Amino acid sequence: MNDIDFEKIYNEHADPIFRYCFFRVSSREVAKDLTQEAFIRTWRSFEKGQQILNIKAFLYKVASNLVIDHYRKHKEVSLDLLKEKGFDFVNEGRQAPDFLDLELVAREIQKLPLKYQQVVTMRYVEDMSPKDIADIVGVSENSASVLIHRGIKMLKKNLNVEDLDEQR
Amino acid sequence: MNKDRFEKLIAVFKSQSLSKIEKEEMLKSIRYAIAADDLKKESSQKVSLFSRFFSLRIVANRRVFAAFSLMVLVLSSAGVSKAAEQSLPGDFLYPVKTQVNEKIKTSLASTAQQKAQVASELTLKRLDEAEVLLEHGKLDEDKKEVITKNLEKHNEEIKKRITELGESENISTATDLDDQLGWSLEGHAKVLDKLAEEREDSLETNSGEDVKDSEDSEKTSDQPKRDFRPGHSRKVIKELQQRAERSSHRGVDRVEEQE
């Protein structure tokens, strides 16, 4: 892979991968580090001659592993710590409907079992299809749909969102 | 919280992106890391030439090998152990990594939880090594043997410590440890499959009788065998795969409980 290709891949996928990490760790700084590492590892795999058929799926897989490793290393992350580490919707100057509510959603997402965090993020934040998600997670399309459905249902239930039976 | 509100909050997450400056800086850092990789590669090639030269000569004389190792350890133990961290099975410094560095790490862990954590980390390290070797097409039988034997050792330790934790009524810690390792192992599913699958291949190349023997002995006796046998090593890989599977099932069970 040459430099130009890599830059193209980076420009195309940097934001989605960053968003994916951010949704899962709620810290811009941590999400940035994980995104950067995901691209470095992907590049290294290219360098080692590994065949990568679906670059998008590969990047998500690497990023997922990094998020899991991040949780493994920092298991006890309190909400206060999250704030200290840069949980900073407000400071980002984005249109935050309600900072506290965002915090609540982020906290509930992180309380989901890891497998649900992964699929809910891909489905909700990236609008990915169950098939794409299945490719990345390495399960059948059917299992992916079940995971998505259950994950979203669980998230909505924990947040007391109305219309629990809604399916996406 | 009503549905609209929820959707609006999700939309905020969706709107997150990197600023132009952040993006440029990140690309710069990635380029640095890649350039550093290239430099490292060049220097490690020099090291491996050096180590090959010595390994040829030294194998002939174990005393010289011991003296040389001692000298190297005394003169530059920090440097060597650091360099050893990057080594792979088959490398000159690999025994330093597993027999010195990792033994120190293991002995520093005092509680059952810490010991289980160290063993989990080492398990993942072995799988990382297998992945690197696999990518380079260097995962031959000898190296697989080294990795699988180590995996066996780490796996026994993990099982022992998790049982210990469970017995001391620390069940939630035991489950957490099990879960964490399971999740991480899922990330290495490919190499585990490969290790399992290639083992079967290597069995097929043996005579049919051997295959039958090893399968029979697995069924009839649970006694651990000290010698390396394909059937036995596959058992470890299988156990690791099952651990990954169990942790994902537990996730599903938890939801069902809540439902």
pLDDT at A159: 84
CA-based nearest distance A31→chain B, Å: 10
pLDDT at A37: 94
Q: Which residues of A touch B12 (CB under 8 A)?
A: 89, 94-97, 102
Structure tokens at A21: 């990490």
- The CA distance from A117 to B254, in Å, is 14
Q: Where are the domains of chain A?
A: 3-158
Identify which of A40-44, A98-102, B44-48, B57-61 has the greatest average pLDDT.
Answer: A40-44
CA-based nearest distance B233→chain A, Å: 25
pLDDT at B220: 44
- The CA distance from B154 to B122, in Å, is 7
SS3 of B138-186: the string is CCCHHHHHHHHHHHHHHHHHHHHHHHHHHHCCCHHHHHHHHHHHHHHHH
Q: Which residues of B touch A113 (CB under 8 A)?
A: 250-251, 254-255
Residues A27, A32, A33, A39: is their CA dihedral positive or negative? positive
pLDDT at A33: 94
Q: Taking a C-beta distance cutoff of 8 angstroms, is the pair B243, B178 a contact?
A: yes
> Closest chain B residue to A143 measured between Cα atoms?
B252
pLDDT at B205: 46
The CA-atom distances, in angstroms, between A31 and each of A38, A122, B8 are 10, 15, 22
Residue B61 has pLDDT above 60, yes or no: yes
**Which regions of chain A are under pLDDT 50?**
1-2, 4, 78-79, 85, 89-97, 164, 166-168
Amino acid at B41: K
Query: Residue A164: left (phi > 0), alpha (psi -120 to 50), or beta?
Result: alpha
> Closest chain B residue to A117 measured between Cα atoms?
B251
Provide the chain B residues 223-252 that lie in CB contact (below 8 A) with chain A.
248, 250-252
Query: Whose CA is closest to A16, among A31, A1, A37?
Result: A31
Residues A10, A15, A18, A20: is their CA dihedral positive or negative? negative
pLDDT tens per residue, range B152-179: 889 888 888 888 888 887 778 888 888 8
Answer yes or no: CATH 3.40.50.2000 is held by domain A3-158: no
Amino acid at B10: I
Q: Which residues of A touch B33 (CB under 8 A)?
A: 36, 40
Neighbours of B38 (CB within 10 A): 9
- The CA distance from B249 to B32, in Å, is 41
Look over chain B and give the mean of its residue pLDDT values, rounded to a whole number: 74
Q: How many residues does chain B have?
A: 259
SS3 of A25-73: the string is HCCHHHHHHHHHHHHHHHHHHHHCCCCCCCHHHHHHHHHHHHHHHHHHH
CB-nearest partner of A72 from B23, B33, B180: B180
Identify which of A141-145, B215-219, B228-232 has the greatest average pLDDT.
Answer: A141-145
Query: Whose CA is closest to A20, among A147, A130, A118?
Result: A118
